[in-house]
């Protein structure tokens, strides 16, 4: 069965940056399962997987625009330390959920200087080329419930 919309795909993957550093991997764990065509994975990888079958292996480089997007300097801002109520020791690298114009957004602290904290609302992988080594382990039809919910249920997927 080929990978197409409304099919459940299970795969092992290793994600590296252009320096060859491993960013994420499913190796040693259950394969990642996702519902193809539902926006569960980045667009560039989903596009590269279309038409593949169980047993297929591929190496694909995803440009930032087809991954987590380009970096957007408008998402970097300085906020007063008092905005972090209840957090005494704010350090670079800490992540927080904040309320943005379109709803919740995750931000990363990049600098603390006096009473001002610099936060970055870009995804940590924004602006990065993503290199995937993928092995498709299974392709099956999605259940009616999976299609209705927009994600995979069971091993490697969502559990209600």
Please tell me the predicted confidence (pLDDT) of residue 8: 96
Q: CB within 8 A of 155, min separation 6: which ones? A: 30, 33
Does 105 lie in the same domain as 36? Answer: no
Res. 155: pLDDT tops 70: no
Whether 7 and 118 have beta carbons less than 8 Å apart is answered as no
Q: How many Å from the N-terminal Cα to the C-terminal Cα in the chain?
A: 27
Please tell me the predicted confidence (pLDDT) of residue 56: 98
Does 62 lie in the same domain as 11? Answer: yes
Res. 112: pLDDT tops 70: yes
The helix (run of H) or strand (run of E) holding residue 96 is strand 95-100
Does 81 lie in the same domain as 58? Answer: no
Nearest to 24, CA basis, from 131, 128, 123: 131
Q: Give how many domains the chain has, as a whole number.
A: 2
Q: What is the CATH number of the domain that holds 97?
A: 2.40.10.330
Q: CB within 8 A of 91, min separation 6: which ones? A: 109, 112
Residue 157's pLDDT band (boundaries 50, 70, 90)?
Answer: low
Please tell me the predicted confidence (pLDDT) of residue 156: 55
Tell me the average pLDDT across 12-40. Answer: 95
Please tell me the predicted confidence (pLDDT) of residue 158: 55
pTM: 0.82
Does 33 map to a domain? yes
Helix (H, G, I), strand (E, B) or coil at 34: strand
Burial 13-42 (b: 16+ CB within 10 A, else e): bbbbeeeeeeeeebeeeebbbbbbbbebbb
Does 77 map to a domain? yes
Which DSSP state fits 75?
G
Tell me the average pLDDT across 128-147. Answer: 96
Range of the domain at 43: 7-68+126-149
Does 108 map to a domain? yes
Q: What percent of the chain has pLDDT over 70?
A: 96
pLDDT tens-digit map of 57-95: 999 999 999 999 999 999 999 999 999 888 889 999 999
């Amino acid at each position: 069965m080929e990978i197409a919309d409304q099919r459940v795909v299970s795969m092992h993957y290793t994600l590296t940056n252009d320096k060859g550093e491993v960013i994420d991997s499913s190796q040693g764990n259950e394969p990642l399962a996702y519902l193809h065509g539902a926006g569960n994975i980045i667009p560039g990888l989903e596009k590269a997987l279309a038409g593949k079958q169980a047993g297929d292996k591929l190496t694909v480089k995803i440009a930032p625009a087809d991954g987590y997007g380009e970096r957007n300097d408008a998402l970097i801002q300085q906020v007063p330390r008092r905005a972090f109520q209840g957090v005494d020791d704010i350090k670079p690298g800490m992540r927080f959920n904040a309320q943005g114009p379109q709803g919740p957004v995750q931000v990363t602290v990049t600098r603390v200087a006096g009473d001002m904290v610099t936060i970055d609302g870009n995804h940590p992988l924004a602006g990065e080329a993503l290199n995937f080594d993928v092995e498709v382990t299974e392709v099956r039809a999605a259940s009616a419930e999976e299609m209705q919910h927009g994600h995979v249920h069971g091993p490697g997927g969502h559990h209600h």
